[in-house]
Structure 1
Amino acid sequence: MKRLLIVDDELAIVEALQDILSVEGYDIATAFNGAEGLQRMAASKPDLVLLDLMMPVMDGREMLRRMRDDTALRDIPVVVMSAGRISDEERRFSARFLAKPFELDELLDTIAELLASGASRTEGENGSP
């Protein structure tokens, strides 16, 4: 079962995504700011992160920067979710950007695609097709 980490300070969004993605068969962890997200990642490395940019304590931009500076975390795909703009640098360091509000099908397709491409990379690294 693929593990996803949702990092967003809006409880309603976190709960809705958690409910939907759990039904889709994903194991879900949650965090309400970037510092908490990094702690969750240290405890159990997720297969993919859904990350809001605007949060208290540590925002998504700082969390993303710290992930990319950490060799153990830099290859985890990140879907940035934000109602705001994203810089070219942030776009380069995230796997995808979804503007809030986004369509549920778009989110599910994005997650499935990124997880499948990650599995293909991992299989290729192990000498399998």
Structure 2
Amino acid sequence: MSTILIVDDEYDIAQAIRGILEDEGHHVEVCSNGRHALQCINEKFSDTTFQLILLDVMMPFMSGLDLLKHLRDDKRFNQVPIVLMNNTEIKVNPANYPWNDFLRKPFDCKTLLKVVNRFVHADQES
């Protein structure tokens, strides 16, 4: 079973994505913003291996881009695929913010699953 982390401050969106991915057989953890994600990673998820992180760009307390930098500097997460999510194109240099893919909000279930399945498979064992 693959484990996916969703970091999004929009509760309804995060729960909808969670439901879709859990229906596909993934284990899903959700954090409400970048600061919350760092806290959970260091306390609650310290032994968790994520196969994918879905990361909203615009969030309070710590943006997705700031969290992305922290994750890429952490040896536990520097190789984990990260998919950014935002309602507009991201206008930063990808070399400074190395993400693996981008989902433009709003996206449909088919698009979400296509992107997720490129990085993880529900039938793989942890």
TM-score bracket for the superposition, by shorter chain length:
0.7 to 0.9
Superposed CA RMSD? 1.8
> Gaps spanning 5+ residues in structure 1: where?
120-129
Q: Which has the larger radius of gyration?
A: 1
Q: Which runs of 4+ in 1 moved over 6 A?
A: none
Higher helix share: 1
Q: How many residues align?
A: 117
Matches within 5 A, 1:1-129: 1-42=1-42, 43=45, 44-86=48-90, 87-89=92-94, 93-115=98-120
In the superposition, the TM-score normalised over structure 1's length comes to 0.82
Deviation readout 1:81-109 (Å, 9 max, x if unpaired): 10133123278611101111112111101
In the superposition, the TM-score normalised over structure 2's length comes to 0.84
Look up the equivalent residue of 1:97 and give its one-letter code: F
Q: Distance in 2 between matches of 1:80 and 1:21?
A: 16
Q: Which has the higher contact order (CA 8 A, sep 6+)?
A: 2
The alignment-based identity, stated in percent, is 35
Look up the equivalent residue of 1:19 and give its one-letter code: G
> Gaps spanning 5+ residues in structure 2: where?
none
